[in-house]
Amino acid sequence: MPETQSDKSPGTALTREDVLRVARLARLTLDDAEIQAVTDQMGQVLQYVEILQQADTEGVEPLAGASAATNVLREDQPAESLTRQQALSGAPRHDDHFFLVPPVLDTSAE
């Protein structure tokens, strides 16, 4: 289906299909109103990123974070570990040896 101008969020090249693809990858189900709202919101985020890309950062040192504060960590203290049964006792599903979890990677959504 060809894109139309009405499929695009104002000021961006973001389409309904882009939002549906991201939603599918995130395993989200959106109704039509949510799709339009998310398209508009993601479009606003992309517009803001475009504004940020125009900032002159020449000569500015890269930062790992916005603050110069560092974490103060305590020394590691060896302690007794949980037994396997204690660790598994809080799991919703296990097989007496391992935690059982649903698959999280699905290549069919790509």
User: What six digits make up the tokens of 23?
Assistant: 């939603």
All domains of the chain in start order, with CATH = 14-53 (1.10.20)
Task: Please state, as a whole number, how many other Cβ atoms lie within 10 Å of the Cβ of residue 36.
Answer: 14
pTM for this model (two decimals): 0.47
3-state secondary structure 86-97: HHHCCCCCECCC
Predicted local confidence at residue 4, as pLDDT: 45
- Compute the distance between CA of residue 46 and CA of residue 43 in angstroms, rounded to an integer: 5
CA distance 75 to 77: 6
Closest CA to 44 of 12, 70, 18, 67: 12
The tens digit of pLDDT for each residue in 51-85 reads 999 999 999 888 877 777 778 888 999 999 999 99
